[in-house]
Structure 1
Amino acid sequence: MKLLLKLLRIFFIFLVPIVILGAVFENIYINMDNGAEKYSWISLIAIFIFMYVLYRNKYQFNGWDEGKGKEKLSKKISLTLIIISAILLSLPLIFSYLII
């Protein structure tokens, strides 16, 4: 039962923000009216990477699980993944201007 609750918690921690932020960024790309919506799937990868960093550094320590092996990501890895996420969020705009 604990495993099912833990999986359900992780599912909602990842799914809800990814769906909401994915819709927000897709609407931003559509409203720019420059063809960036064709590449909006890249923003979902960026949001997933960001949520992974957020989960590993914060959310895994909140809750009822007292399991072993809980460690934060190092600052260097966290910063690298956040920069990669930011670059991926800007790629649809860059692609829409470069590839017409």
Structure 2
Amino acid sequence: MRTLLELIRIIILFAIVGSAIGYFLIYIYLEMGIDTEKYGLIVFVAIFILFFVLYRNKLQFSGWYKGKGREKLPRKVSQILILSSIALLLLPPVLNLLLR
């Protein structure tokens, strides 16, 4: 039961946090004149990676699940994932400039 509650919690958190960040980024991209329909998937993947790192390093310890496998990501892995997510977020403006 705790696992199901934790899964529902993850889905709700991702829906709320992911949507808020996604709408904010799409608004910024629209203001910059970037076609968000072309690059929306890249933004979604970047947000998903950031949420994954946030969940594994912070949010999993405040939930209902108390089973095995609850440990933080290694520091290097967190840094690599965060940097790749930032690179993905910077990719649409660069691609928009290059592919005009």
Q: Is TM more than 0.5 here?
A: yes
Structure 1 residue 39 displacement after superposition? 1.2
* CA distance in structure 2 between the partners assigned to 1:85 and 1:4 by the alignment: 28
* CA distance in structure 1 between the partners assigned to 2:64 and 2:6 by the alignment: 9
Percent identical residues: 44
Unaligned stretches of 5+ in structure 1?
A: none
Q: Superposition RMSD on alpha carbons, in Å?
A: 1.2
* CA distance in structure 2 between the partners assigned to 1:81 and 1:3 by the alignment: 25
* CA distance in structure 2 between the partners assigned to 1:17 and 1:43 by the alignment: 14
* CA distance in structure 1 between the partners assigned to 2:93 and 2:81 by the alignment: 20
Q: SS in structure 1 opposite 2:79? A: helix
Structure 1 residue 4 displacement after superposition? 2.6
Structure 1 residue 20 displacement after superposition? 1.0
Dislocated runs of 4+, deviation >3 Å: none
* CA distance in structure 2 between the partners assigned to 1:15 and 1:67 by the alignment: 24
Amino acid of the structure 1 residue aligned with 2:59: Y
* CA distance in structure 1 between the partners assigned to 2:35 and 2:75 by the alignment: 32
Give the aligned partner of residue 54 of structure 2. Answer: 54
Q: TM-score, normalised by structure 1?
A: 0.91
Structure 1 residue 53 displacement after superposition? 0.4
Give the aligned partner of residue 79 of structure 1. Answer: 79
Are positions 1:23 and 2:23 aligned together?
Answer: yes
Deviation per CA, 1:9-48, whole angstroms, max 9, x where unpaired?
0111212111111111111111112x34231321111010
Unaligned stretches of 5+ in structure 2?
A: none
The 1:36/1:90 distance shift into structure 2, 3 A limit, reads farther
